[in-house]
Structure 1
Amino acid sequence: MVSKHLHQAIGLTLLIAAFGVGAAERDRRWAKRLQVKGAGNVYKVSDALYRSAQPSAEGFVTFKKLGIRTVVNLRSFHSDRKKIGDTGLGYEHIYMKAWHAEDKEVVRFLQIVTDPRRQPVLVHCQHGSDRTGTMCAIYRVAVQSWTKAEAIREMKEGGYGFHKVFVNLERYIRKLDVKAIKKRAGLE
């Protein structure tokens, strides 16, 4: 009888320990998850910037009600114009490829997201993971003065679904000349 209770206690202890492994507390500076009807993978990065996967027409209406002013679509082959319709949301389309980020895309994104007249801004791609994660990481570095390592860690480990196959995006951030990009975007 004692043996049975001892085994149960050990089993319970191991179970608790197993769930605790890898469940380190999320960095408080990382984006905050939101539930938004009509959109997935939604997070508030800052008061000026939100991120998500591709919203539906209903999602754009919901974002407008939440106070979003501008939508930045990073998808190369998909427009949001019909889904946004007459919501009154501003719309910018930056044709970004997940396999090849370019400085001109980053400059344009930073110009939009730092313009107080356009804030708050919602940035999205299909999954809200890779292209969106890259732009949010660059925002963290260029606008919020995070280190590249801190921003990359959030991009990869923040729970946004970053796909490891896109090592090129991490490499792009690591090699990015932040001072030059900020200058081109009019931030310096």
Structure 2
Amino acid sequence: MKDTSEVPIRNFHQVTEWLYRGGQPGSDGIKSLAEMGVKTVISLRWGKKTIATEKSYVEAAGMRFLSVRLNYWNLPTQQIIDDFLGLVDHEASRPIFVHCLHGADRTGLLIAIYRMAKENWPVEQAYAEMKKHGFHRFRIRNFKWMLWKYARQAKEDGAIK
């Protein structure tokens, strides 16, 4: 793993050799991502103006920008989960940076689902990582519920062990 302590992005962490997570990057953060060789930025933000502004900065820095709109009030659909997993599976898009505003809740949920679906992590381990990176487990309980629901359904469907 790389030393990421100097990256000027709130809650920035390396997930795998090619996957990073964090909060909303500013212009310095976007510059750092480009310098690190990140090819794709996936935003989980849902405000249209926020998305448009970030898209212009990311593309100006030579990276690809993708938006997977996710908010706190609606749980991600299976289609959103499948789209996200498909995006991170696309090797030509790597390295990838995934973020929401704080890099804790929406990012935490989708990274936890990635860990279970692609790295065979048990739900308890994936949830522990969510908490480690700042998941607001009392304020956003529905995401915790969603994680366990996903684990149960994915096991029934044979998608995870």
TM-score bin, normalised by smaller chain: 0.7 to 0.9
> In the TM superposition, what whole-angstrom CA distance separates every residue of 1:42-82 from its partner, at most 9, and x where no partner exists?
00000121001000122111101111110000001121112
Q: What is aligned with 2:57?
A: 83
2:115 aligned with 1:115, yes or no?
Answer: no
3-state SS of 1:143 partner: helix
Q: Secondary structure at the match of 2:5?
A: strand
TM-score normalized by the length of structure 2: 0.85
* AA of the residue aligned to 1:118: S
Say whether 1:178 aligns with 2:154. Answer: yes
Q: Which has the larger radius of gyration?
A: 1
State yes or no: 1:62 paired with 2:35: no
CA deviation after TM superposition for structure 1 residue 93, in Å: 0.3
TM-score by length of 1: 0.74
Q: What amino acid is the match of 1:96?
A: L
Looking at both structures, which has the greater relative contact order when contacts are Cα pairs under 8 Å and sequence separation is at least 6? 2
| Aligned mates of 1:181, 1:37 — CA distance in 2 | 38
What is the rounded CA distance, in whole Å, between the counterparts of 2:89 and 2:79 in structure 1?
16
Tell me, yes or no, if the aligned pair for 2:59 and 2:65 is still in contact at 8 Å.
no
Does the 8 Å contact 1:60/1:87 carry over to 2?
Answer: yes
Seen in structure 2, the aligned counterparts of structure 1 residues 37 and 154 have a Cα distance that, compared at 3 Å, is closer
Residue type at the aligned position of 2:136: H
Percent identity of paired positions between Structure 1 and Structure 2 = 30
State whether residues 100 and 169 of structure 1, in contact with CA within 8 Å, keep that contact through their aligned partners in structure 2.
Answer: no
Q: Count residues in correspondence.
A: 151
Question: What's 1:161 paired with?
Answer: 134
What SS class does the counterpart of residue 4 from structure 2 fall into? strand
CA RMSD of aligned residues (A): 2.1
Counterpart position of 1:53: 23
SS, match of residue 35 in structure 1: coil
CA distance in 2, matches of 1:134, 1:95: 13
Give the direction of change, closer, same or farther, for the CA distance of 1:174–1:38 in structure 2 (3 Å limit): same
Structure 2 unaligned regions, length at least 5: none
Counterpart of 1:6 in structure 2 is none
The structure with more helix, counted as a fraction of residues: 2
Q: Which runs of 4+ in 1 moved over 3 A?
A: 179-183
Find the aligned partners of 2:105 and 2:89 in 1 and give their Cα distance: 21
What is the aligned partner in structure 2 of residue 4 from structure 1? none
Aligned 1:24-63 pairs, distance under 5 A: 34-63=4-33
Q: Does the aligned pair in 2 maintain the 1:33–1:43 contact within 8 Å? A: no
Equivalent residues of 1:37, 1:62 under 8 A apart: yes
Distance 1:92 1:47 in 2: 20
